Amino acid sequence: MGLFSFNKSKNESKINWIALTQQEQISEAIENSATRPVLFFKHSTRCSISSMALNRFESEWKNESNCTIYFLDLIQFRNLSNALADTLNVQHQSPQAILVNNKLVTYHASHSSIDVASIEDRL
């Protein structure tokens, strides 16, 4: 099961996702948020609610150039989701969007509360 195993190929997405697949990426991304905001999008490839939230996010997102965006497949990498939750002190949810700016969480939401306009306001 790959990054876009939820019946959508990478070529269909207008977002240039970075697959979060390694523990080291978490600390690197947080460190990099000092100069450029980082958004983590956690998605369960087995959940229809998660798929709806992801589709809505992708259709509304306009600010890719202002933010580095990581995609976390929770089915394949649940251990990374737990590590991210521990590192950022944000309770695990699925789906979930977590924005980190200057090494601090400035936004997090899950399910239908994920709001692109609220994320963009914090960039």
Domain boundaries, given as residue ranges, for the chain:
10-121
pLDDT for residue 5 is more than 70? no
- What is the pLDDT, as a whole number, of residue 66? 86
DSSP conformational letter for 112: G
Identify the residue with better confidence: 62 or 109.
109
> Could you tell me the two tokens for 27?
């600390």
And the tokens for 76?
């394949």
- Class of 10-121 in CATH: alpha beta
Query: Band of the pLDDT at 14, cuts 50, 70, 90?
Result: confident
pLDDT digits (tens, 9 = 90+) for 37-67: 999 999 998 999 999 999 999 999 986 678 9
pTM of the predicted protein model: 0.88
Rounded distance between C-alpha atoms, residue 35 and residue 44, angstroms:
29
Q: Compute the distance between CA of residue 26 and CA of residue 63 in angstroms, rounded to an integer.
A: 21
> Which three-class secondary structure state does DSSP give residue 97?
strand
